[in-house]
């Protein structure tokens, strides 16, 4: 490729490479070769809380015995206490609750989430985390000698993010479970004008597939190539670059790497036009307004997701998996000061997104679910909490059998049967079960679930029952 071409590519890629639709040459043709299709639309939205959410403060036991155990474990009554005041908690009534059962309340900053829970549109998954097989405290403690399989590098940010994203266990895998969903549904989504997987928060392991590749865009839309324009010199540069790319792709003298790079660039231009053109016609939402009310960064991402959903017919979309995120949850310090704002952002973001879906009339077809690196210790490190394992996750949407707590909410007692030190709880529900339940609702056949959730055979229940 000559020097002039390199200059064109460098100028064009200043704003576009990072948002390219990452496919090798031929992959697009392979994806479009399938037949079949769905007769409906469904979307999953993964909200990843980066840093490890201290979720034991998100939904807290309020019945005396259970709250007292929680308060003792969190240092209640001391200057380093991480316990939320019992009187401030927002009480809930949950499905299946009987006299004598533990009672619970949401964190006082989560009024919107509580409203969704009480209306049956939000559910809580209790003590969930990456597991390769059911694990007891004795098995955890003797794993080095017995060979009982545990997820590698427990309590490590990067490794546990990878576990949530990929469910790979101790094996090597280049794909995430959302990417594998796109792979197994490849034939049914052949007419889509966007990939199944769309990230508004950077490239992720979660979306990587063996066949399908994600589309990565910005929080408000696709990032255009900075050197391009609709007229004058900008249009001239675009025309020239497109000619260079087309020639590079078709040239037999270029290496496969040069042709692949040119193909990625070409698709980046095409998809930026397609996405931004569609978003220009998208519906506006009173719950997530374009102007006036200040939106959080999370709400801005979710507004763009809602807008993309609103133009689903224009883009021939039947299945989508979105990735959005919120950071700041690695709270070794200032937990009690900073956590209320973070949890409020999560709560308000989920509720305003759900309300936008109801404006579209499509709330039954979209399910939002949370993930985070790991839960955190019950014990305080002085001003915050440390890395742990199991924790709570939220699922919201019209198809959610909400107003329920799924799984086993443990007694939050230091030294209990699930505590492996400092209030680090062994999960009793696995991330594979979580993914398999979401994948089943999304349209993945039972025979393909082991491809999506490789450890699912180790657990009795493939479907946790939180989706209708």
DSSP string, 64-87: HHHHHHHHHHTTTTSTT--PPPGG
> Is the CB of residue 170 less than 8 Å from the CB of residue 17?
no
- State whether the Cα torsion 48-50-51-54 is positive or negative: negative
Collapse the DSSP code of 326 into the 3-class scheme (helix H, G, I; strand E, B; otherwise coil) and give the result.
Answer: strand
Strand pairing partners for 216? 199
Residue whose pair of structure tokens reads 């964190």 in the numeric block: 107
Tokens of 458: 């180790």
* pLDDT attached to residue 11: 39
Q: How many whole angstroms separate alpha carbon 426 and alpha carbon 432?
A: 15
Q: What is the mean pLDDT of the chain?
A: 91
The whole-angstrom separation of Cα 124 and Cα 103 is 14
pTM over 0.75: yes
Over the stretch 77-97, which tens digit does the pLDDT of each residue have? 999 999 999 999 999 999 999
Sequence-ordered list of residues with C-beta below 8 angstroms from that of 158, at least 6 positions apart, any chain: none
CA-based nearest residue to 389, from 194, 183, 153, 218: 153
Q: Give Dmax over CA atoms of the chain in angstroms.
A: 78
Q: How many CB atoms lie within 10 A of CB 297?
A: 15
d(CA 252, CA 383): 62
Percent residues over pLDDT 90 in the chain = 80
127, 428 Cβ separation under 8 angstroms: yes
pLDDT band at 226 (very low <50, low <70, confident <90, very high): confident
Q: What pLDDT is attached to residue 284?
A: 97
pLDDT at 6 > cutoff 70? no
Q: What is the per-residue pLDDT for 13?
A: 40
> Helix 232-250 crosses helix 3-13 at what angle (to 10 degrees)?
120
Q: Which residues pair with 59 in a beta bridge?
A: 106
* Proportion of the chain above pLDDT 70, given as a percent: 92
pLDDT at 24: 35
Region 46-69 average pLDDT: 98
- The pLDDT value given to residue 254: 84
What tens digit of pLDDT does each residue of 135-193 get? 999 999 999 999 999 999 999 999 999 999 999 999 999 999 999 999 999 999 989 99
DSSP-derived 3-state class of residue 384: coil
Q: Identify the pLDDT of residue 359.
A: 98
Kindly state the helix (H) or strand (E) to which residue 91 belongs, with its residue range: strand 90-91
CA triple 334-339-435, angle to 5 deg: 130
- The two three-digit tokens of residue 176, written as one number: 């995430």
- Least Cα distance to 355 among 291, 303, 294, 292 occurs for 303
304 has pLDDT over 50: yes
Written out in words, the top-level CATH class of the domain with range 38-224+295-458 is alpha beta
CA gap 192, 274 in Å, rounded: 12
């Amino acid at each position: 490729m000559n020097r002039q071409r390199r200059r064109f590519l460098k100028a064009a890629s200043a704003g576009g490479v990072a948002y390219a639709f990452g496919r090798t040459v031929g992959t697009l043709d392979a994806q479009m070769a399938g037949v079949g299709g769905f007769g409906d639309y469904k979307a999953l939205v993964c909200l990843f809380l980066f840093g490890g959410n201290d979720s034991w403060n998100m939904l807290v036991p309020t019945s005396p015995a259970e709250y007292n155990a929680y308060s003792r474990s969190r240092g209640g009554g001391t200057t380093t206490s991480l316990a939320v005041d019992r009187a401030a908690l927002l009480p809930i009534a949950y499905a299946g609750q009987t006299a004598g059962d533990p009672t619970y309340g949401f964190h006082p900053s989560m009024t919107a989430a509580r409203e969704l829970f009480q209306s049956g549109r939000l559910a809580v998954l209790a003590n969930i985390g990456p597991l390769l097989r059911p694990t007891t405290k004795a098995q955890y403690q003797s794993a080095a000698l017995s060979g009982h399989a545990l997820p590698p590098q427990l309590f490590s940010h990067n490794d546990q993010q990878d576990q949530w994203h990929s469910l790979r266990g101790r094996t090597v895998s280049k794909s995430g479970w959302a990417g594998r969903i796109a792979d197994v549904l490849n034939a049914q989504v052949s007419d889509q004008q966007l990939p199944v997987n769309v990230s508004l928060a950077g490239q992720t392991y979660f979306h990587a597939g063996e066949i399908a590749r994600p589309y990565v865009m910005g929080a408000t839309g696709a990032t255009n190539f900075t050197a391009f324009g609709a007229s004058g010199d900008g249009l001239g540069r675009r025309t020239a670059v497109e000619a260079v790319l087309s020639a590079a792709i078709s040239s037999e003298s270029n290496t496969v790497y040069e042709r692949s790079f040119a193909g990625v660039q070409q698709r980046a231009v095409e998809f930026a036009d397609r996405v931004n053109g569609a978003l220009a016609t998208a519906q506006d939402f009173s719950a997530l307004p374009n102007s006036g009310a200040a939106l959080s960064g999370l709400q801005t991402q979710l507004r763009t997701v809602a807008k993309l959903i609103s133009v689903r017919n224009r883009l021939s979309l039947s299945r989508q998996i979105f990735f959005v995120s919120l950071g700041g949850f690695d709270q070794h310090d200032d937990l009690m000061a900073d956590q209320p704002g973070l949890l409020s952002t999560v709560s308000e973001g989920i509720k305003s997104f759900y309300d936008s879906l109801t404006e579209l009339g499509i709330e039954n077809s979209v399910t939002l679910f949370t993930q985070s690196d790991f839960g955190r210790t019950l014990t305080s490190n002085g001003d915050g909490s440390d890395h742990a394992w199991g924790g709570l996750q939220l699922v919201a949407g019209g198809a959610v059998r909400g107003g329920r707590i799924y799984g086993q909410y443990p007694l939050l007692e230091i030294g209990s049967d699930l505590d492996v030190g400092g209030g680090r709880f062994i999960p009793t529900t696995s991330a594979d079960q979580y993914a398999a339940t979401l994948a089943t609702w999304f349209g993945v056949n039972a025979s393909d679930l082991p491809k999506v959730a490789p450890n699912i055979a180790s657990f009795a229940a493939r479907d946790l029952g939180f989706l209708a």
